[in-house]
């Protein structure tokens, strides 16, 4: 998300050819605004009142290894994981961060020895999340170095592999490439939630990253959490957050606790659920609808293609379904080398494959934006596809 924030598009200015310009549809960022309609439907159920006297201390829980972790937030995280069954929380340390973006940096700091002669190599299988190389290289650290595609890494030296599953950008379900002996794995599970993919097992990796942004849609709260097995690693992550931001917003944690608890409550008995639509049902149905529209538009012609995604049984919902990721990894099939520029001409902003260590024939398209924009995108894509095809 970082690469193009500086060029966040303004509305296009009308050109002097007398034509009325089409509005630019921005599907470049994975801004999860789709979820706003759910939270609007919920009215005041997730409203939190924070008084003037609250949050006057830096500290939340001095007995906890993560001293800036609000106990209510920790409880809500554990409760939701136990309900969904997507991650093991027992015997784990929860480390809260300003988005999982900060936690990723804390992990790098925690895992790379401070006095090593050479920086540690950081790899991820391409196509990988475009922010990993940007974050890793941003400060030209002596601790770590971005080495790109994990499949190409053959050095016999320690390294860290980032495993994102379901993957951003292509939605694939991933295992570590992990062919060397000195590899440390970090699992980014931002999308391992039942609106996107069947929950097939309770993951119990050593370091797992989650974020509010892609689970509940509250990207603006800037909260993520890590589930960490090893105490020494968790302590070093906490140290990093202490140095970089002296903790994490308590106000955000109090609000997030409420949001997560309200989600869990929607799965309670009739009294506690208050007859609200269960949160992940809403998310699942919305993603299913949007993927249906996209496949229909792509199938109208030969201009584009989509990856095949695995089907599985979800232990949480008992549904059997195919992964329906937050992003589509679209390939331009015809004589178009630069898919991003091609779609931009049609006033559709996407992120090109090169950002993800892949070919320009691909673009990543966000499926989690506002309904209105998404429908307009589908309309334009269908039109391009039917005009371009023989």
Using the contact rule CB under 6 A, the part of the chain among 59-67, 75-83, 99-107, 249-257 near ligand PMP is 99-107
What is the distance between the alpha carbons of residues 122 and 343, in angstroms, rounded to a whole number? Answer: 32
* Ranges within 280-339 binding ligand PMP (CB under 6 A): none
What x-and-dash track marks residues 17-46 binding ligand PMP by CB under 6 A? Answer: -------------x----------------
Nearer to ligand PMP, 257 or 384 (CB): 257
Residue closer to ligand PMP by CB (options 131, 273) is: 131
- Encode burial over 325-361: b for 16+ CB neighbours within 10 A, e otherwise: bbbbbbbbbeebebbbebbbeebbbbbbbebbbbbbb
User: Does residue 99 bind ligand PMP (CB under 6 A)?
Assistant: yes
Q: Which residue number places its CB atom closest to ligand PMP?
A: 99
Exactly one of 26, 60, 86, 101 binds ligand PMP (CB under 6 A); which one? 101
Q: Is 215 in the site for ligand PMP (CB under 6 A)?
A: no
Residue 219 interacts with ligand PMP (CB under 6 A): yes or no: yes
Name which position in 190, 208, 260, 381 contacts ligand PMP (CB under 6 A).
Answer: 190
The stretch among 15-23, 78-86, 96-104, 355-363 that binds ligand PMP (CB under 6 A) is 96-104
Decide whether 168 or 249 has the Cβ nearer to ligand PMP.
168
Helix extents (H) in the chain: 36-41, 71-84, 99-111, 131-137, 212-215, 231-245, 250-265, 270-273, 279-299, 339-345, 371-388
CB 98 within 8 A of CB 209: no
Task: Name which of residues 142 to 181 contact ligand PMP (CB under 6 A).
Answer: 164, 168
Helix (H, G, I), strand (E, B) or coil at 367: coil
Contact 36, 217 (CB under 8 A): yes
Neighbour-count burial for 280-299, b at 16+ CB within 10 Å, e otherwise: bbbbbebbeebbebbeebbe
Query: What is the rounded distance in angstroms from the CA atom of residue 159 to the CA atom of residue 209?
Result: 18
Q: Give the residues lining the site for ligand PMP (CB under 6 A).
A: 1, 30, 99-101, 129, 164, 168, 188, 190, 211, 213, 219, 224
């Amino acid at each position: 998300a970082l690469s193009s924030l500086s060029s966040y598009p303004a509305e296009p200015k009308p050109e002097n050819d007398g034509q009325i310009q089409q509005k630019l549809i921005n599907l470049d960022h994975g801004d999860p605004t789709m979820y706003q309609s759910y939270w609007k439907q919920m009215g005041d159920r997730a409203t939190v009142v924070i008084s003037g006297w609250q949050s006057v201390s830096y500290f939340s829980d001095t007995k906890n290894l993560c001293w800036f972790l609000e106990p209510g937030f920790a409880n809500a995280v554990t409760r939701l994981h136990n309900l969904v069954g997507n991650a093991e929380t027992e015997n784990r340390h929860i480390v809260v961060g300003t988005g999982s973006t900060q936690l990723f940096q804390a992990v790098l700091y925690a895992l790379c020895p401070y006095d090593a002669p050479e920086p540690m190599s950081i790899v991820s299988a391409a196509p990988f999340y475009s922010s990993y190389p940007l974050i890793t290289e941003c400060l030209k650290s002596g601790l770590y170095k971005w080495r790109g595609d994990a499949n190409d890494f053959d050095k016999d030296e320690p390294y860290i592999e980032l495993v994102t599953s379901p993957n951003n950008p292509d939605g694939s379900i991933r295992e570590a490439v992990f062919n060397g002996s000195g590899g440390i794995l970090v699992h980014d599970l931002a999308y391992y939630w039942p609106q996107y993919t069947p929950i097939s097992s309770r993951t119990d990796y050593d370091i797992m990253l989650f974020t509010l942004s892609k689970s509940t849609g509250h990207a603006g709260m800037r909260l993520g959490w890590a589930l960490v097995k090893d105490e020494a690693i968790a302590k070093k992550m906490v140290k990093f957050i202490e140095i970089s931001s002296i903790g994490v917003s308590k106000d955000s944690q109090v609000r997030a606790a409420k949001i997560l608890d309200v989600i869990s409550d929607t799965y309670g008995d009739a009294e506690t659920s208050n007859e609200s639509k269960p949160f992940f049902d809403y998310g699942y149905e919305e993603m299913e609808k949007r993927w249906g529209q996209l496949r229909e538009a792509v199938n109208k012609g030969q201009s584009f293609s989509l990856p095949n995604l695995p089907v599985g049984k979800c232990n949480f919902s008992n549904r059997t379904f195919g992964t329906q990721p937050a992003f589509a990894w679209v390939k331009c099939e015809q004589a178009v080398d630069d898919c991003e520029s091609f779609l931009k001409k049609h006033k559709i902003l996407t992120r090109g494959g090169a950002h993800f260590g892949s070919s320009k024939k691909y673009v990543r398209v966000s499926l989690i934006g506002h309904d209105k924009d998404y429908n307009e995108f589908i309309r334009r894509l269908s039109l391009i596809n039917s005009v371009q095809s023989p």
